[in-house]
Amino acid sequence: DALVASVPYNETKQAEHGRTHAVAPPEGLRRAVDNADVTASTRSERIANDKVGNGTPPLGVNRTIDTLDAFRVDASGQTLTTNQGVMIADNQHSLKAGLRGPTLLEDFILREKITHFDHERIPERIVHARGSGAHGYFECYEPRPDLTRAAPFQGLGKRTPVFVRFSTVAGERGSMDTARDARGFAVKFYSDEGNWDLVGNNIPVFFIQDAMKFPDLVHSVKPEPHHQMPQAASAHDTFWDFVSLMPESTHMLMWVMSDRGIPRSYRMMQGFGVHSYRFVTADGESRFVKFHWSPKLGTHSLVWDEAAKLGGADPDYHRRDLWEAIEAGVFPEWELGVQLFTEEDAERFSFDVLDATKLIPEELIPVTPLGRMVLNRNPDNFFAETEQVAFCTAHVIPGIDFSNDPLLAGRIHSYVDTQITRLGGANFHQIPINAPIHMPFNNQRDGMHQQAIHRGRVNYEPNSLAGGCPFQAGARGFVSFPDPVREDKLRGTPERFAEHYHQATLFYESQTTWEQAHIVGAFRFELSKLTVPAIRTRVLSQLRNVSEDLASRVAEGLGMPLPAAMPKAIESPQPPEVTRSAALSLTARPGNGEIRARQIALLIADGVDGAPLRALHALLTESGAAPRFVGPRLGTFTTTEGEMMTADASLENSPSVLFDAIVLPSGATGIEALGMLGQTVEYVMNQFRHNKPILALPGSSVLLERAGIPVARREKLTALGVFLGDDTGELTSAFMGALSRHRFPERETDPPR
């Protein structure tokens, strides 16, 4: 029993495999087993019980999993066969005429194996190729038929299964997670009334206003066509050439150049539907709606130097973070809120709600919470689920409808269309991860990879031979909102779309001093990579319309004079309603301060004091964090107490960028041994430079000094999240508090000293 109690587990996996314990999550991420938590009766739980809204992890699994069960393949205990189910006697050797003779064409087993292998890859997504997915559910706080008839919002505690895919935009499938980029935040709701895909980003606005420009935008940001460089980066000529000729992109540029472009974790970023959509009630009443996902852990980001180094140290940084958190039972959670507004509200705004380069400041329209989303299960198979999932903005359900946003219009077409190439035909909705829970019935037939066996001779409607089935649902079905249209056909842009800078300014002005400094640094870095100076000049002229402060700081960083401001498309626009919005700063959402699944390195070597490190390790583990002993190499080390201590990682295989905080040991011999190593110095230097908490146990401040951190003014360092002194207890509690705070940007200097 003692052994069982210490085995880590994931209750959702447990329910799936019918095992007592599932695969162990990585060292350090542990959770006590409580079997009473999981009962068979929770398998299809849809109306939650006393768990609603109380923040505890959910019970059991959700219905997505039930539907997928039929397709799961588990080969344990099975014999190897061909795809025809013929048992294979020898999987090591091809069939030859004599041991040294020619291989025979007759070898259907070899040919089947190689042929299948030859066709294993499918085209990657044209954008958002690199992503990570997870299952979970959406839970409705209370029925809102007054707002919409959409099924997920119709019951107290009603749970709708979801599959979510997070992604970067520009990089290819094998690129790195921490590139500066927007992040995709796509949610598929498997509702009782069909699938609804809310395909959003972690940034509430977009680069362009009209779908007509999307292929140009994507061509410009992707690796340049002649030499396919650079990978997963916007810091190159073609991107900046394009955006500097498209002033409407200025607002989104501000977001991407801010720390929003380098999130700490998928679990710590907001999501936005971006466009104005419509909610429609059963009575046919409609209001516009903008969707917001808000992470329970708050919004947190990396710093650029760290993001760049992480690209080498662990290109899968975000994927691993999401996977490990879910395996450890630390389920990521977001609240879904909506900004609701009427046609009349929309009319009086200084901007157009159909323009996806604009947000609606929360000061104008507050966010109303509707429910929460919890991700509680990793996919079983990356390709079958995360790669084959097909999100389409056209997938809406009764109660959700579109606005006339011209960007959205292009998306309604594009997503279905692209899946036909990517997934090999029009039946991609039958792939298990895409199949709706509400069974589809219609007269569509055949096509590549048809999986259904449609019975009967009727494949048309109206019919009498099948009693008229399947029949139209009438008002129970999807009815498009009857938005009246009476206009001339033409190409062009409405006047309010022509104001491109107010909200870029609003964003910049709403940032804290350090967030502004990061924006300056990002523009400086990206523009410094350009080879055509004229593009740099053009971007600077664009920035002058946003903020003189920003433009002059970037110009100074590039060693360039400030050019004249770019001429504006509209000289006297309506003044903006809001000039500062607290909600736009990352600091607006510090989160709940929990440290579960955060990574902490405790440095060890021969001759460190074992007791304080072990005590700290135990405390961190108890709090759900993931402490690791990191040594100059793997293997065991002898502490001053003469005990053995085993390293989980080495300074070489796990550089400091992988950790949210570090602990420097006490023990003179150990400190001296670590101090001799350049890697230790780099470790401390990077932790300091990346604003992360550092705990220096008694005697180890010499390691700070070797990294160039002056230790004379202790109080000042404490305020900057570096804790040193003689009282281990006091240090530890200060350190734990600092972990909740994540970062100490007050430390920064530009350039770093």
* Contact call for residue 415 and ligand HDE (CB under 6 A): yes
Residue 411 in marked binding region: yes
To the question of whether residue 277 is assigned a binding role by annotation, the answer is no
Amino acid present at 467:
G
Cα(606)–Cα(610) distance, integer angstroms: 10
> Which residue in 190, 391, 659, 723 binds ligand HDE (CB under 6 A)?
391
Window 610-649: residues binding ligand HDE (CB under 6 A): none
Has 206 been labeled as part of a binding site?
no
Which region among 371-379, 406-414, 633-641, 736-744 touches ligand HDE (by CB under 6 A)? 406-414
* Smallest distance from ligand HDE to CB 378, Å: 16
Distance between CA atoms of residues 332 and 673, nearest Å: 40
Applying CB under 6 A, does 411 fall inside the site for ligand HDE? yes
Q: Applying CB under 6 A, which of residues 414, 505, 537, 654 lies at the interface with ligand HDE?
A: 414
Give CA 672 to chain center in angstroms.
41
Whether the bond between 462 and the residue before it is cis, its omega within 30 degrees of 0, is yes
Q: How far is the CB of 46 from ligand HDE (least distance, A)?
A: 25
Residues 288 and 323 sit within 8 Å (Cβ to Cβ): no
Instruction: Give CA separation, 573 vs 112, 360, 491, in Å.
Output: 66, 17, 22
Name the residue nearer to ligand HDE (CB basis): 132 or 148.
132
Lookup result for tokens 């419509």: 278
CB closer to ligand HDE out of 309 and 411? 411
Q: Is 732 in the site for ligand HDE (CB under 6 A)?
A: no
Site of tokens 């909506």? 338
Determine the straight-line distance between the first and last CA of the chain, rounded to whole angstroms: 54
Q: At 626, phi and psi to the nearest 5?
A: -120, 85
Q: Which of positions 339-368 make contact with ligand HDE (CB under 6 A)?
A: 356
User: Catalytic annotation on 201?
Assistant: yes
Distance in Å, CB of 126 to ligand HDE, minimum: 5
DSSP assignment of 278-290 equals EEE-TTS-EEEEE
Q: How far is the CB of 382 from ligand HDE (least distance, A)?
A: 13
Which residue among 141, 214, 382, 525 contacts ligand HDE (CB under 6 A)? Answer: 214
Interacting span for ligand HDE (CB under 6 A) from 127-135, 287-295, 301-309, 620-628: 127-135
Instruction: Pick the closer one to ligand HDE by CB: 219 or 716.
Output: 219
Map 37-93 to HEC letters: HCCHHHCCCCECCCCCCCCCCCCCCCHHHHHHHCCCCCCCCCCCECCCCCECCCCCC
Q: Which of the residues 128, 300, 318, 518 is marked catalytic?
A: 128
> Using CB under 6 A, which of 33, 59, 61, 211 touches ligand HDE?
211
Q: Based on CB atoms, which residue is closest to ligand HDE, 132 or 178?
A: 132
* CA–CA separation, 361 and 352 (whole Å): 13
Q: Around Cβ 223, how many Cβ atoms within 10 Å? A: 18
Determine, following the binding rule CB under 6 A, whether residue 253 of this chain makes contact with ligand HDE.
Answer: no
Q: Which two tokens stand for residue 661?
A: 């905080």
Residue 131 or 721 with smaller CB distance to ligand HDE? 131
β-pair type (644-647, 649-650):
unpaired
Residue with the closest Cβ to ligand HDE? 184
Question: Does the annotation place 536 within a ligand binding site?
Answer: no
Catalytic one of 10, 195, 201, 427: 201
Question: Between residue 185 and residue 204, which ones bind ligand HDE under the rule CB under 6 A?
Answer: 186, 199-201
Among 63, 135, 165, 544, binds ligand HDE (CB under 6 A): 165
| Strand-pair category, 368-377 with 286-295 | unpaired
Residue 432 is classified by DSSP as G
Tell me how far, at minimum, the Cβ of 167 lies from ligand HDE, in Å: 5
Report how many residues bind ligand HDE under the rule CB under 6 A: 24
Q: Does 125 bind ligand HDE (CB under 6 A)?
A: yes
CB-nearer residue toward ligand HDE: 206 or 723 = 206
The least distance separating ligand HDE from the CB of residue 186, rounded to whole angstroms, comes to 4
Q: Which position among 22, 127, 308, 600 is part of the footprint of ligand HDE (CB under 6 A)?
A: 127
For 632, half-sphere exposure in the C-beta direction (CA atoms, 13 angstrom radius) is 17
- From 276-284, 290-298, 410-418, 537-545, give the range in contact with ligand HDE by CB under 6 A: 410-418
Helix (H/G/I), strand (E/B), else coil: 671: helix
DSSP letters, 181-249, are S-EEEEEEEEETTEEEEEEEESSSS-S-SSGGGHHHHHHHHSSPTTT---TT---SHHHHHHHHT-GGG
Least gap, CB of 393 to ligand HDE (angstroms): 8
From candidates 410, 607, 610, 675, binder to ligand HDE by CB under 6 A: 410
Near ligand HDE by CB under 6 A: residue from 148, 167, 178, 388: 167
**Type and span of the H or E element at 618:** helix 610-622
Within 13 Å and on the Cβ side, how many CA atoms surround 186? 25
Q: Does residue 131 bind ligand HDE (CB under 6 A)?
A: yes
Binding range to ligand HDE, per CB under 6 A, among 92-100, 320-328, 413-421, 494-502:
413-421
Name the residue nearer to ligand HDE (CB basis): 165 or 264. 165
- For ligand HDE, the binding residues in 12-31 under the rule CB under 6 A are none
**Three-state secondary structure string covering 595-614:** CCCCEEEEECCCCCCHHHHH
Q: How far apart are CA 40 and CA 526, in angstroms?
A: 54
Q: How, if at all, do strands 626-631 and 599-603 pair?
A: parallel
Which of 23, 97, 126, 452 contacts ligand HDE by CB under 6 A? 126
Q: Is 422 annotated as a binding residue?
A: yes
Q: Give the CB-side neighbour count of residue 726, counting CA atoms within 13 A.
A: 0
Which residues are known catalytic residues? 128, 201
Q: Which residues bind ligand HDE (CB under 6 A)?
A: 125-128, 131, 165, 167, 184, 186, 199-201, 206, 211, 214, 274, 356, 391, 407, 410-411, 414-415, 418
Binding positions are: 125, 165, 214, 411, 415, 422
